């Protein structure tokens, strides 16, 4: 039996995870579930670390992790988020961040022109290096002469493997997004690895856009995109933009994967949403669609398809939370999903 580790986290994390756990329970997918509900901001404040070695070994013993969201305004942000989220991604070498975006209903599009609305693509984001590498520091800190440096680390190995992953998920095209016209060293490396990767995958069309133009074209020609591959920070930004075109981060799922080990961290694209936490109105769909990615990854295709269909059905029927224009609470949406399973 596959086992999954669940980290509800902070803010709306536990609210949306609760919905996912009820849905998993109703589906009876034959998973054993280990909930780490002590991994949160309070523990980080108390102990300086939210995820212990013991937690990491419990996680290693499972097949995948489902994480709600972490982050709280009263806790030192960079240290805490790096301690949990980036630590999980990096220590399990989850280099491929797969973020599918699909407009599930016309009504969810923020775009006025119906012809521009068609969106069914995936952002493939490099997840272990780039600007997130944590290398750098502050010189002459807290003085008017302060200089802050964060190294943008890109390796041949890291870039080649994310490009190969992007090609492996493409249906028709892979579009590389970078800033090689301005960023010299990394730009050169990505471009060279890109040429080699395209040669390894001759059956797939390729396209290249600079990040600024890509952001524009996502809005003006969303239907042209299939797979977009980008560095850690560019992929982060584009995935929120693409999510907004599909109805918002309340419906955006994400999987951080290592295709070689098969291990994965499944996390909605959204964060802990402190502005709505505790109000009972968080949209649980991103977490549900993320749960569908997780169980599909573990081979439970029928149950994953049932979750996707239940979410699509709720959206079509207008049984949605305020972020999607509805008036239902998280609980009411959960009930609607459970009823339609
Ligand atoms: P956020 O995604 O938490 O919120 C951005 C906006 O989207 C807010 O207005 C919020 O109310 C709304 N929103 C997000 N999820 C929603 C949902 N499910 N339903 C309805 N509305 C939703 O981003 P932020 O405000 O930039 O960050 C808040 C905290 O979350 C920070 O500490 C940040 O570091 C952290 N964060 C964590 C993760 C993660 O754990 N995977 C991801 C992103 C941000
Ligand atoms: C995401 C989040 C994280 C990231 C933050 C919280 C570090 O924005 O998963 O998209 O940038 O990777
Ligand atoms: Mn993000």
Running DSSP on this structure, what letter comes out for residue 261? Answer: T
- With a 6 A CB cut-off, is 272 part of the ligand 1 pocket? yes
Alpha-carbon distance 154 to 158, whole Å?
7
| Strand 227-230 with 205-210, pairing | unpaired
The domains found in the chain, sorted by start residue, are: 1-98+249-341 (3.40.718.10), 110-245 (3.40.718.10)
Per-residue pLDDT of the chain (341 residues; tens, 9 = 90+): 899 999 999 999 999 999 999 999 999 988 999 999 999 999 999 999 999 999 999 999 999 999 999 999 999 989 999 999 999 999 999 999 999 999 999 999 999 999 899 999 999 999 999 999 999 999 999 999 999 999 999 999 999 999 999 999 999 999 999 999 999 999 999 999 999 999 999 999 999 999 999 999 999 999 999 999 999 999 999 999 999 999 999 999 999 999 999 999 999 999 999 999 999 999 999 999 999 999 999 999 999 999 999 999 999 999 999 999 999 999 999 999 999 99
Alpha-carbon distance 66 to 217, whole Å?
32
Give the distance (Å) from ligand 1 centre to CA of residue 270.
4
DSSP three-state, residue 101: strand
Alpha-carbon distance 3 to 298, whole Å?
10
| Ligand that lies nearest to the alpha carbon of residue 10, given by its number in the listed order | 1
Please name which of 270, 240, 247, 253 lies closest in space to residue 324, comparing C-alpha atoms: 247
Work out the angle at residue 315's Cα, subtended by the Cα atoms of residues 277 and 31, and round it to the nearest 5 degrees: 70
Catalytic positions: 132, 179, 212, 236, 240
Q: Where are the alpha helices (DSSP H) in 135-200?
A: 156-169, 184-200
Residue nearest ligand 1's atom 36 by CA: 271
- With a 6 A CB cut-off, is 275 part of the ligand 1 pocket? yes
Mutate to test the pocket of ligand 1, among 74, 235, 265, 272 (most ligand atoms within 8 A of CB): 272
Q: Is 118 exposed, middle or buried (0-12, 13-18, 19+ CB in 10 A)?
A: middle
Contact between 225 and 121 under an 8 Å Cβ cutoff? The reply is: yes
Give the distance (Å) from ligand 1 centre to CA of residue 19.
17
């Amino acid at each position: 039996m596959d086992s999954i580790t669940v980290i509800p986290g902070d803010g709306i994390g536990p609210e949306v995870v609760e919905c996912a756990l009820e849905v998993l329970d109703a589906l009876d997918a034959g998973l054993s579930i280990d909930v780490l509900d002590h991994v949160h901001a309070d523990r980080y404040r108390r102990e300086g670390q939210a995820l212990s070695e013991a937690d990491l070994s419990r996680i290693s013993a499972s097949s995948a992790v489902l994480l709600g969201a972490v982050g709280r305004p009263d806790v030192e942000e960079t240290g805490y988020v790096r301690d949990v989220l980036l630590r999980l991604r990096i220590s399990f070498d989850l280099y491929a961040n797969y973020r599918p975006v699909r407009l599930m209903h016309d009504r969810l599009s923020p775009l006025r022109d119906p012809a521009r609305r068609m969106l069914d693509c995936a952002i493939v984001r490099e997840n272990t290096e780039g600007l997130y590498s944590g290398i750098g520091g502050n010189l002459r800190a807290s003085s008017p002469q302060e200089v802050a440096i964060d190294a943008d680390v890109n390796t041949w190995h890291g870039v080649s493997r994310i490009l190969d992953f992007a090609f492996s998920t493409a249906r028709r095209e892979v579009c590389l997004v970078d800033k090689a016209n301005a960023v010299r060293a990394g730009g050169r490396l990505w471009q060279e690895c890109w040429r080699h990767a395209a040669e390894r995958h001759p059956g797939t069309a390729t396209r290249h856009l600079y990040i600024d133009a890509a952001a524009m074209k996502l809005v003006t020609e969303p239907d042209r995109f299939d797979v977009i591959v980008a560095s850690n920070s560019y992929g982060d930004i584009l995935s929120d933009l693409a999510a907004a075109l599909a109805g918002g981060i309340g419906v955006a799922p994400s999987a951080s994967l290592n295709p070689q080990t098969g291990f994965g961290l499944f996390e909605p694209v959204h964060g802990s949403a402190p502005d709505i936490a505790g109000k009972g109105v968080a949209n649980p769909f991103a977490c549900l669609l993320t749960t569908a990615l997780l169980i599909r990854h573990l081979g439970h295709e029928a149950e994953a398809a049932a979750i996707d269909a239940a979410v699509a059905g709720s959206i079509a029927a207008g049984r949605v939370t305020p972020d999607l224009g509805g008036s239902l609470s998280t609980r009411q949406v959960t009930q609607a999903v459970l009823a339609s399973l």
